[in-house]
Amino acid sequence: MKRYVKLITLAGCLCATAAHAQDNGYKPMDDVNKVVDLTLDSLEKVKTARPAAGSSRQGDNPVLFLVGNSTMRTGTKGNGDNGQWGWGFYEHHYFDASKITVENQALGGTSSRTFYTQLWPDVKKGIRPGDWVIIELGHNDNGPFDSGRCRATIRGISPTDSLVVTLKEGPHKGEQETVYSYGEYMRRFVRETRALGAHPILMSLTPRKKQVGEGWEPVRVADSFGGWARQVAEELNVPFIDLNELSATKYDRMSPWKINYHFYLDNIHTSKFGAELNARSAAEGLMACQHPELQPLQAMMQNIALPTTGVKREKGKPVVFITGDSTVKNTDRDTTGMWGWGSQAWRIFDENKITYINCAQAGRSLRTYLREGRWEKVYNDLQPGDFVLIQFGHNDIGELHRGKHRGDIPGVADTSCVSRVVLKDEAYNEVVYSFGWYLRKMIDDCREKGATPIIVSLTPRNEWPDGQHIERRNDSYGQWYRAVAEQTGTTFLDLHNITADALDAIGPEAAKAYYCGDHTHTSLRGARLNALGIAIALRRTSSDLAKYLK
């Protein structure tokens, strides 16, 4: 192939050689991201915020270096303080820290060109023989060659095409730089990694999302960066993980609404949901890859199997998963102690026809049940024909930004905020959603797996405001439950009012026997009353779950 070397000066738009460069396929790629990310503009800040290369190394153990952009490490700090997360933050979960450490050297705003010229030299200083380097770049290889962020590369993988530019902006203004093709930068990363005795791995880009009609779908890059990275990997016999396709395939199974919340603020940067999805896709891709060079790395991996509830299925029998808080699952042992109604599910469900599992956990709100991975286990276990009872509310009224950090945003709006969570042993940023949003997420997840979600209102507390009627929360949680049920067409069991009606009938003095220790937690008698209320509520509906009652 003929080698083209072009010169763009400060007046490059009027220069004949620049025009000739455009004719030969050197037109910069369009900035499809439409995102302003200025992270790289403060290199001194960047160098102090990112870990020193190799500083995570434990003894003589290898290090897995992550080289990428904001989809791998969002922002300079990479701590999610804007609600966005890069997948590199979660990748260590899939590696045994006693054998290898994962070091996220990615930086937002970098292209293959700018990472190679400005950050790669420092990263190389920390690489030792036996280390591993994942390279996933390309999202920012667009825009002008010589102005703005000055980060564009030449399309394709040509080893000979190059373009000499005079930089018009930035800290290197006035300097000349030779620009190569995307594929040539990938080759350089690979060759220089190998020269240091380490093992390079190429990955395709994480998916963006694009709007199609009123919905969303993932963007695949098989005909551009994904295809180019694969070609270079095959040429140099390097392990290649098609991260783009692995994650996009998962998005294909989701509703447009769910795809949307896997990103935050824009169409490229992921929320915690999206970052964790990409991190798992990367790990699954590494473990499944047949390239022999990866075998030592695969031996150091962990947590590839999906976490589950451990439910034991019986052929021909669906499962009803019961989720909730301490009013659903408590100590459930001492006849004089606290009991949740889930412990009495055997009284209402026909175990010859259906299996039930109580997955509730004391002290949890919708927010913390999701945050701790408890919902993930239920979701992973769901199969077509299953049922899920969703009952929360007692702990969702807590504070958003203090205390146990378990409160949700009141109401049902599709809204969120970033909260700084500070607990005894950790501090981190978390996006908090509304009570209704969490309900909708669980409902959507159930339907994605072919299961049937059922909303259950919270149990009443043993408080009698007027001395004759037990407290009701129909103007808050009751209203929110109903709104979400109507919005989503979900069966709603109004246990709150069914139990409240029964206790109103016997009065405040007799009602004491149905509670234990405080105004919220039930005794064994109270748990049985609530379980009976579930059965009564189901029989009042057209839910198929009613067919499995005794």
319-548: same fold as 7-298? yes
- pLDDT (0 to 100) of residue 10: 26
User: Where are the domains positioned within the chain?
Assistant: 7-298, 319-548
**Whole-number Å distance between alpha carbons of 279 and 68:** 13
How far apart (Å, rounded) are the C-alpha atoms in residues 295 and 142? 35
Q: How far is CA 352 from CA 323, 346, 358, in A?
A: 22, 11, 17
Total residues belonging to the chain: 550
**Which parts of the chain sit beneath pLDDT 70?**
1-25, 29, 31-48
As its CATH architecture, domain 7-298 has 3-Layer(aba) Sandwich (3.40)
- The pair phi, psi for residue 65, each rounded to 5°, is -90, 135
* pLDDT at position 548: 98
H-assigned helices in 158-271: 182-195, 225-236, 243-252, 256-261
What pLDDT is stored for residue 47 in this prediction? 59
The pLDDT of residue 18: 35
Measured distance CA(474)–CA(497) in Å, rounded:
9
Alpha carbon distance 460, 534 (integer Å): 14
What pLDDT is attached to residue 170? 79
- Give the three-class secondary structure for 495: helix
pLDDT value at residue 2: 33
Q: What is the CATH number of domain 319-548?
A: 3.40.50.1110
- Rounded Cα distance between 257 and 444, Å, is 9
Decide if 226 contacts 248 (C-beta within 8 A). Answer: no
Please name the residues in contact with 437: beta carbons below 8 A apart, sequence gap of 6 or more: 408, 409, 412, 413, 414, 415, 416
What's the one-letter identity of residue 203?
A: M
* Rg from Cα positions in the chain: 28
